[in-house]
Amino acid sequence: MKFSTALSVSATALATVAIGYAFYFDYKRRNDPAFRKKLRKQSKQSVKAAKKEMKAAAQQENMMIEKAVKDVVEPGVLPTGVQEKEAFFMEQVATGEALFAQGPSYYVPAAIAFFKALKVYPAPVELVMIYQKAVPKEVFDLIMKLITRDAAVHGAGGASASKDDVDDSVPTAESTKEVEDKSQKPKEAVKEESKEEPKEEPKEEPKEEPKEEPKEEPKEEPKEEPKEEPKEELKEELKEELKEELKEELKEPKEEP
């Protein structure tokens, strides 16, 4: 009981001290201009320190990226055989996964490991899509920085024969843009066709209907009238033939006696 009471007393004392300090701090902040200036200076100093840390981290990151891009094209860094490339790829991917799992401070080394694996992979564009789904966004952004920097430094074709084999498998930013443009072009064409089609339909329908109706009626009526005339001519011809036959028959018996 004595130990529990001592703990409760110490807890209440700490709570009262914290509450009292909070009230004192708020009072000084509102009523003491010198205290407010001191707080502003402290906040500015903390912001400056944070900016310096960010700049130092960015500089260190850029230095590591530059070093990785230069080291990759050095002879002997990347393997040349098929089996050696497969083993190197698996090793670098496992290293990258282990590094980014340790926290944000290991994101740059993890991205460098994934970049090295990308350099020996036969289908780099497909591997980039896999990276986008499998690794954190921060690591993927670093991988893309490495790819774009490598394309800017060595994409002009200033490498030796052994380096050309490596550079052929690197996806550049231009190739990714071309793929996006090609995927967007058919969508735009479909949109333009869908916009043009409804404009043509209402114009064609009213023009076709009035043209067809008057053409059908006059064609049927005059066809029936001329069909009766040849029948009468045939009748007259038959009558004349019958008359001639009768005349000949009548003439024949007169000649016999």
Report pLDDT digits (tens) over 59-97.
888 888 898 888 888 888 888 889 999 999 999 999 999
Q: Does residue 143 fall inside a structural domain? A: yes
Q: Does residue 88 fall inside a structural domain? A: yes
Helix (H, G, I), strand (E, B) or coil at 122: coil
Report pLDDT digits (tens) over 156-188.
433 333 334 334 444 444 444 454 454 455 445
* Number of domains into which the chain is organized: 1
pTM score above 0.85: no
Domain range enclosing 75: 62-175
Q: Does residue 196 fall inside a structural domain? A: no
Q: Does residue 160 fall inside a structural domain? A: yes
Q: Does residue 218 fall inside a structural domain? A: no
CB 115 within 8 A of CB 70: no
Q: Does residue 198 fall inside a structural domain? A: no
Torsion sign over Cα 201, 205, 207, 212:
positive
Separation of alpha carbons 25 and 4, rounded Å:
32
Q: Does residue 82 fall inside a structural domain? A: yes
Q: Does residue 168 fall inside a structural domain? A: yes
